[in-house]
């Protein structure tokens, strides 16, 4: 009996499965022994087809000639979409910074709803890249769901609130900080006054902690602490550095207790899931010749 691979190679024309309509997925699975990813028991309803057209391409870990090609995809896409939060060779420990500020701001963290998640950041969590990669094979960016045979599953705002205590509603996260600058709007009692140039000069995680964990002004140190926490643990970035785009959010978390973090954090999670699975249309086109390039391709 010929092997699944030899049967696939013997085909005169290799036609990739259509992950929008469901055509050919079962045949592809049989010929290649195993396929991880969305599986449709029949075609998608006509009224849903348009929703899935642009974002329902197969994840980048698939190849048309083999069941799974995750080795290079994991190291490239996964590491840049979910960067490590480890800080090596730093003389200042993050846990120590938390412990120093806890007597001053612990009660405030509880009112804001970030107390437990800040303390959780003291624990080291090892990322299982292979397990994460396997789960992402089921991710569908068209609906922001994991499409399993038992049905669709997805993290929700209530999950953010129940697991991490991030508020699902409240004061919106404002990237430019104009919520406290407009006429007749409340003013911040403690605005960010640390030089932005100095922060940029010390933006690496290790330099940042060394420079700002000893800030004498407790209010400014707390906002610097929150800015570091947001960049390293809540919204990690590919550069593994402290970015100023979350400065106004750090201000808001220091001055207010009703900031609705949940929607923004969930949106960031969805964005990273999309980046890890679909954000390289050129690679997707090479894996599935003839597939349409996503609208997210760069010019």
Is 106 in the same domain as 56?
no
Q: How many domains does the chain have?
A: 2
d(CA 125, CA 222): 24
- Closest by CA to 142, choosing from 48, 73, 21, is 48
Structure tokens at 75: 């190291």
- Closest by CA to 113, choosing from 265, 262, 222, is 262
- Closest by CA to 236, choosing from 138, 136, 125, is 125
d(CA 106, CA 118): 10
DSSP line for 87-99: --S-SS-HHHHHH
Whether residue 36 contacts residue 26, with contact meaning beta carbons closer than 8 Å, is answered with no
User: Is 31 inside any structural domain?
Assistant: yes
User: Is 194 inside any structural domain?
Assistant: yes
CA distances to 71, 128, 244 from 112, rounded to whole Å, are 41, 31, 21
Is 65 in the same domain as 166?
no
User: Tell me, what's the pLDDT at 23?
Assistant: 61
User: Tell me, what's the pLDDT at 191?
Assistant: 85
User: Is 297 inside any structural domain?
Assistant: no
Whether residue 224 contacts residue 216, with contact meaning beta carbons closer than 8 Å, is answered with no
User: Is 170 inside any structural domain?
Assistant: yes
Is 98 in the same domain as 202?
yes
For residue 41, count other CB atoms closer than 10 A to its CB.
Answer: 8
User: Is 62 inside any structural domain?
Assistant: yes
| Mean pLDDT per 10-residue segment, the chain (299 residues) | 46 54 53 46 62 55 45 59 60 88 96 94 79 80 81 88 91 74 62 91 92 94 96 85 92 92 92 76 39 32
Is 54 in the same domain as 199?
no
User: Is 33 inside any structural domain?
Assistant: yes
User: Tell me, what's the pLDDT at 47?
Assistant: 65
Structural domain boundaries enclosing 186? 87-126+154-272
Is 53 in the same domain as 96?
no
For residue 135, count other CB atoms closer than 10 A to its CB.
Answer: 14
Is 140 in the same domain as 175?
no
User: Tell me, what's the pLDDT at 184?
Assistant: 54
User: Tell me, what's the pLDDT at 150?
Assistant: 72
Whether residue 247 contacts residue 192, with contact meaning beta carbons closer than 8 Å, is answered with yes
User: Tell me, what's the pLDDT at 85?
Assistant: 55
Is 74 in the same domain as 171?
no
User: Tell me, what's the pLDDT at 106?
Assistant: 95
Is 211 in the same domain as 140?
no
For residue 249, count other CB atoms closer than 10 A to its CB.
Answer: 22
Is 149 in the same domain as 159?
no
Is 112 in the same domain as 47?
no
């Amino acid at each position: 009996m010929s092997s699944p691979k030899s049967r696939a190679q013997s085909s005169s024309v290799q036609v990739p499965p259509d992950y929008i309509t469901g055509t050919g997925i079962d045949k592809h699975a049989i010929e290649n022994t195993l396929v991880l990813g969305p599986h449709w028991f029949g075609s998608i309803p006509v009224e849903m087809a348009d929703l899935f057209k642009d974002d329902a391409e197969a994840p980048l870990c698939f190849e048309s000639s083999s069941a799974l090609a995750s080795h290079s995809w994991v190291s490239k896409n996964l590491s840049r979409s979910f960067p490590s939060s480890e800080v090596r060779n730093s003389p200042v420990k993050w846990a120590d910074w938390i412990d120093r500020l806890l007597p001053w701001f612990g009660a405030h963290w509880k009112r804001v709803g970030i107390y437990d998640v800040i303390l959780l950041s003291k624990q080291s969590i090892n990322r299982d890249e292979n397990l994460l990669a396997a789960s992402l094979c089921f991710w569908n960016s068209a609906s922001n769901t994991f499409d399993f045979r038992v049905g669709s599953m997805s993290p929700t705002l209530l999950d953010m609130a129940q697991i991490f205590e991030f508020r699902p509603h409240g004061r919106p996260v404002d990237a430019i900080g104009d919520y406290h600058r407009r006429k007749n709007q409340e003013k911040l009692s403690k605005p960010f006054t640390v030089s932005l140039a100095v922060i940029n000069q010390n933006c690496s995680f290790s330099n940042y902690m060394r420079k700002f964990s000893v800030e004498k002004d407790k209010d400014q140190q707390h906002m610097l602490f929150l800015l570091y926490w947001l960049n390293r643990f809540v919204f990690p970035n590919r550069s593994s550095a402290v970015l100023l785009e979350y400065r106004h959010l750090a201000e808001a978390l220091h001055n207010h207790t009703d900031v609705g973090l949940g929607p923004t954090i969930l949106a960031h999670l969805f964005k990273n899931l999309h980046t890890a699975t679909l954000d390289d249309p050129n690679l997707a086109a090479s894996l599935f010749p003839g597939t349409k390039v996503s609208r997210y391709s760069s010019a």
